[in-house]
Amino acid sequence: MSFKLLLVVMCLWIWFLSLAFTISDEGLMRVSLKRRNLNFQSLNSSRIKRVIHQRNLESVDQNCCSKDVVYLKNYLDVQYFGEIGIGSPPQYFNVVFDTGSSNLWVPSSKCIFSIACYLHSKYRSRISSTYNEIGTPCKIPYDDGYIYGFFSQDNVKVGDIIIKDQEFSEIIWEANLALLAFPFDGILGLGFQGISVGKVTPVWYNMIEQGHIKDRVFSLWLNHDPMAEIGGEIVFGGVDKRHFRGEHTYVPLSQKGYWQIEVGDILLGNNTTGLCEGGCAAIVDSGTSLIAGPTGVVTQINHAIGAEGYVSIECKNIVQNYGNMIWESLISELNPEILCVDIGLCSNNGFQRIDDVIETVVHNENLDRPFCTFCNMIVLWIQVQLKKSNVKEKVLKHVDELCERLPKPVGQAFINCNSISTMPDITFTIGNKLFSLPPEQYILRVDEGSVCYSGFVALDVPYPQGPIWVLGEIFLEAYHTVFDYENLRIGFAEAA
């Protein structure tokens, strides 16, 4: 009898603790994330390849998005993902919680001609009692092309809550063989509805509309420790104070669609890199490990950290043939923005375009003469060096060395793992405050730490949309991030 009484007391005590936890976390919903370690193949194949005009996307609704530009990525470098359920009873999937996109998509049981589908969990509508057929076809941009599917509606379980009647994409064709390497099944977009293919309402919008979370905000903590049991956590409805130190620095969104803000100068050690002193756009993106930015700045970073594996013939030819002319023009205080037009390497608008497709020059296989981009980079580099030295030979020699560090067309930049401790901090200016990344943060180690890569890759977007930075998981591991939909702002604080 005493044993039964003890059992009842223990059950009541557990129930009380559970109730207390629910009350203390009222309005908050947590999703634990898993972390995978990158390997040589996944990181070397990863890329943020190009930027295309949104109007060229062949989606269900040609007017689906208000943004002019969408950049493409292949998710092969993503390290963090979590579990959701779709249907009744729930069918479980590992998904990337991606602030750089807005759709929810998973493989469909009707995906029978793509090998990748057989290696991942597939949604089976026939066994869900809450499934509603929509059937409208859709094409979601991915890497070099699209993945194909159709829209459906069902309940979605995220953490302990169920979002009713959520529209999502069942994928029936995954043509890219790279999808075979995914350790996850699909993507859950946390971007705005404006960039959603088909204008589908994002999952987190419906969390708010259905009253599941108290405040219109979510926060992200990524655990940099590869040995930790918990890889990270998303908190919908607020923040967990255990995940950060000090106060958040908040900056307003500069454009709604992506979680996009404005950043100021990027410092290499204590030195300016020049390009973003007047401000650059930056997209905060949990769907990539990398930090992408203008080739002119990324090249300066790669030079400083000794990155290897680059091509540079065209760039060096411009330095040899036009370096003196560019130097004299800048010394004479001619307008640097039109200098490359004056010497005949750029068209009147200063940029080269092909059929409304804009690609970073190192990834663009269609341009036979990418001299304009190289010329503009060289002008920038000479401007930066003029602040340090007025000796022409010294400056042009340094610029020639920078040409040797231009990113190659595919893959990442190798780094000597033994020299990490001597590398400079890379610092972003956000909201008039400095957010530094030490080399241990921006260097990616793979194959048990025996191979090291630079976490910086090139992405060139012409004016007026660019220049653009993409701040991926490397940055988000260092800084706990609050995505505030109520006030249309993003906050950063040192991660704990």
Give Rg (Cα) of the chain: 24
Q: Amino acid identity, residue 113?
A: F
- Give me the catalytic one of 77, 143, 154, 285: 285
Report how far residue 39's alpha carbon sits from residue 444's, in angstroms, rounded to the nearest whole number.
10
Q: Which residues of 269-288 are buried (b: 16+ CB within 10 A; e: fewer)?
A: eeebbbbbeeebbbbbbbbb
Measure the CA–CA gap between 87 and 91, rounded to whole angstroms: 6
Q: Is 285 considered catalytic here? A: yes
Close Cβ partners of 353 (under 8 Å, ≥ 6 residues apart): 462
Q: Which of 423, 406, 404, 427 is nearest to 415 (CA)?
A: 423
Q: Are 465 and 353 in contact (CB under 8 A)?
A: no
Sheet holding 426-430, edge to edge: 271-272, 266-268, 426-430, 433-437
CA of residue 395 relative to chain centroid, distance: 34
**Helix H or strand E encompassing 230:** none
Rounded to a whole number of angstroms, the distance between the first and last alpha carbons of the chain is 48
**List of residues 6+ apart from 25 with CB closer than 8 A:** none
Which listed residue (98, 154, 265, 484) is catalytic?
98
Edge-first strand order for the sheet with 69-73 is: 69-73, 48-53, 357-359
> Considering only CA atoms, which of 283, 194, 195 is closest in space to residue 476?
283
3-state class (DSSP) for residue 67: coil
Q: Does the active-site annotation cover 342?
A: no
Tokens of 359: 């690609």
- Compute the C-alpha angle 356/359/360, nearest 5°: 150
Which are the catalytic amino acids? Answer: 98, 285
